[in-house]
Amino acid sequence: MLDQGSDAFVVFDKVQKSYDGQTLVVKDLNLSIGKGEFLTMLGPSGSGKTTCLMMLAGFETATHGDILLDGQGINNIPPHKRGIGMVFQNYALFPHMTVAENLAFPLEVRKLGKSDREAKVKRALDMVQMGDFANRRPAQLSGGQQQRIALARALVFEPELVLMDEPLGALDKQLREHMQFEITRLAHELGITTVYVTHDQTEALTMSDRVAVFNDGRIQQLDPPDTLYEEPKNSFVAQFIGENNSLEGTVKELNNDTAVVQLDDGGLIDCKPVNVNKVGDRTKVSIRPERVEYRSERFQEGAHLLKAEVLEFIYMGDVFRTRLRVAGRDDFIMKCRNAPDQIRLKPGETVNIGWMPEDCRALDA
């Protein structure tokens, strides 16, 4: 987390939110976002991420705590005076206005002259490669084109902060991936601080400088995408971010950098202790599917070996995805890159699988 006295541009300080005066949907949120940073709030429905965005925008009021923008408290400033750009999933374009009129509207509200408005509208449309569509109405545009216009409207008055709430949710996969790249490119080129809300893990990992993973009104982990994926701090983050294997067991030995875990089927494995405190603790051991190997010539010295029964072998183009029965569980997944020398396993086969101890983590049960 950023030091609130350094380059923090957005600060949530002990923020809470309750709708009924009893249940907190956001619990003691402390979060600092740097100037120019692209931060994603990620989590399941009801985790508090959208409520945080709405409080920052001014559409919801914090029950307790302070929200600061560039060092100034904004709790009592109405939304239209916060100078924040907004992009929503449903685009929220005015259907009776042309594209150019939609973009000019926030400039008119800010009392800009006609020539300034026209110059800024042209610049914003060119930014999103929509310069030829100025005279069309939203109904004459595809969903992807409408989303570009919504993005241009959020940028047209050159805000320092842009908030995006599931902006790509209505787009198909290919267009969604293209727009992910476009949004991050624009945000970084323009130096805009961006707060992005999504429940899509891949979107969060590919777009963000940092990701705040929400669950039950709290941030479970706040880190850059690679740290979040490679070093989850608890079982929720490990299971929520990407695909993950969990094996249950009990801690038998514990020292600084190694936990020896006895799996429920009796096997012993070495793990990196992350969220266990003492011998006897129950734990879930986390291993990513792509860290698992089944070809003995590729096992590194010190790798763990376990017997596994092949239950399902799926060709996915770039990878082979194999479901295995391991340590009494039928949901253990192994992913192998599609290469000419890869063996296609058959259901019913028994194979040795292995991974390195540093690739598995002993987390909370």
Domain ends where: 204, 235, 266? 235
Is residue 2 domain-resident? Answer: no
Instruction: Provide the domain count of the chain.
Output: 2
Contacts of 162 (CB under 8 A, 6+ apart): 84, 85, 86, 87, 154, 155, 187, 192, 193, 194, 195
Same domain, 251 and 162: no
- pLDDT confidence tier of residue 302, bands split at 50, 70 and 90: low
The torsion angles phi and psi of 300, rounded to 5 degrees, stand at -85, 155
- pLDDT confidence tier of residue 1, bands split at 50, 70 and 90: very low
Query: Per-residue pLDDT tens for 215-258?
Result: 999 999 999 999 999 999 999 999 999 899 999 999 999 988 89
Give dist(CA 82, CA 269) in Å, integer.
54
Residue 5 pLDDT > 60, yes or no?
no
Pairing label, strands 329-337, 319-326? antiparallel
Same domain, 168 and 215: yes
Here the CATH number for the domain that contains residue 316 is: 2.40.50.140
Q: What is the per-residue pLDDT for 201?
A: 92
Same domain, 223 and 249: no
Residue positions counted in the chain: 365
Q: Is the pTM of this model over 0.85?
A: yes
Same domain, 20 and 157: yes
Q: What is the per-residue pLDDT for 3?
A: 45
Is residue 3 domain-resident? Answer: no
Give dist(CA 275, CA 235) in Å, integer.
9
Residue with token string 């971010």: 241
Which of the 8 DSSP states describes residue 216? T
Residue 303 pLDDT > 80, yes or no?
no
Is residue 225 domain-resident? Answer: yes
Contacts of 112 (CB under 8 A, 6+ apart): 120
Cα Rg, the chain, nearest whole Å: 24
Contacts of 104 (CB under 8 A, 6+ apart): 117, 118, 121, 156
Treating both helix axes as pointing N-terminal to C-terminal, what angle do 114-127 and 143-155 enclose, rounded to 10 degrees? 130
Q: 310 vs 267, which has greater pLDDT?
A: 310
CB count within 10 Å of CB 169 equals 15
Q: Which domain holds residue 336?
A: 245-364
Same domain, 82 and 224: yes
- pLDDT confidence tier of residue 2, bands split at 50, 70 and 90: very low
What SS3 class is residue 226?
helix
